[in-house]
């Protein structure tokens, strides 16, 4: 699958079922734990469960001139799809991700013996039972998990942008750097 088709398919299939309640931290890096569920392409009727966390670097108004740095997303697996190609692809299409460091740490990839709908119910129930408000539950295409995570990060960043800007302006004022 080429980059355009992969992105288009990810936009159509990615769904954030249970988002993290808190936004991104304005003063430090934020760890975003997630559970990504997808139908297994190998075992029909089973689901793939990918657990991990994305660490998002501290926000900044003065951004570096280079593109965001993304690591741990395994884009190197495909010949056409690599981190630089992905960032260029997104920029050309007007998708802007703040210039930060995004580091994905996948902790496990497991098989849930059951349909995707059953996996969703089981994981929603577990998150509710443990009162886990930090972990995001999302679904998408099995081979498109990297794009699903980028979509999830973009949603988190857009939710936090206004409060981040206000925090940074208040910090500058407090330190005597603004008006």
Whether the per-residue pLDDT at 13 is higher than 90: the answer is: yes
8 is a domain residue = yes
- The model's confidence at residue 170, banded by pLDDT at 50, 70 and 90, is low
Q: What's the mean pLDDT in 109-129?
A: 97
What pLDDT was estimated at residue 134? 94
Q: Which of 91, 74, 58, 95 is nearest to 144 (CA)?
A: 74
Alpha-carbon span 174 to 179, nearest angstrom? 10
Into how many domains does the chain fold? 1
128 is a domain residue = yes
What pLDDT was estimated at residue 154? 81
16 is a domain residue = yes
Alpha-carbon span 134 to 37, nearest angstrom? 17
What pLDDT was estimated at residue 119? 98
Q: Which of 20, 30, 32, 4 is nearest to 107 (CA)?
A: 32
179 is a domain residue = no
133 lies in which domain range? 3-174
Higher pLDDT among residues 22 and 9, named by residue? 9
Alpha carbon 50 to chain centroid, angstroms: 13
Higher pLDDT among residues 146 and 59, named by residue? 146
Provide, rounded to the nearest whole percent, the portion of the chain with pLDDT above 90.
41
């Amino acid at each position: 699958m080429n980059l355009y088709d992969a992105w288009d398919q990810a936009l159509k299939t990615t769904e954030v079922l249970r988002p993290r309640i808190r936004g991104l931290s304005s003063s430090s890096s934020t760890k975003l734990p997630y559970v990504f569920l997808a139908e297994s392409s190998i075992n029909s009727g089973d689901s793939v469960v990918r657990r991990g966390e994305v660490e998002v670097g501290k926000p900044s108004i003065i951004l570096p001139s280079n593109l965001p740095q993304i690591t741990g997303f395994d884009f190197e697996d495909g010949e056409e799809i690599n981190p630089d190609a992905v960032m260029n692809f997104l920029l050309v299409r007007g998708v802007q991700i703040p210039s930060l460091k995004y580091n994905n740490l996948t902790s496990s990839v497991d098989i849930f013996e059951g349909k995707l709908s059953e996996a969703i119910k089981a994981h929603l129930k577990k998150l509710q039972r443990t009162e886990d408000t930090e972990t995001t539950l999302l679904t998408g295409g099995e081979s498109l998990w990297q794009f699903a995570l980028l979509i999830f990060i973009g949603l988190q960043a857009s939710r936090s942008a206004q409060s981040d800007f206000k925090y940074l302006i208040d910090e500058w004022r407090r330190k005597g750097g603004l008006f």
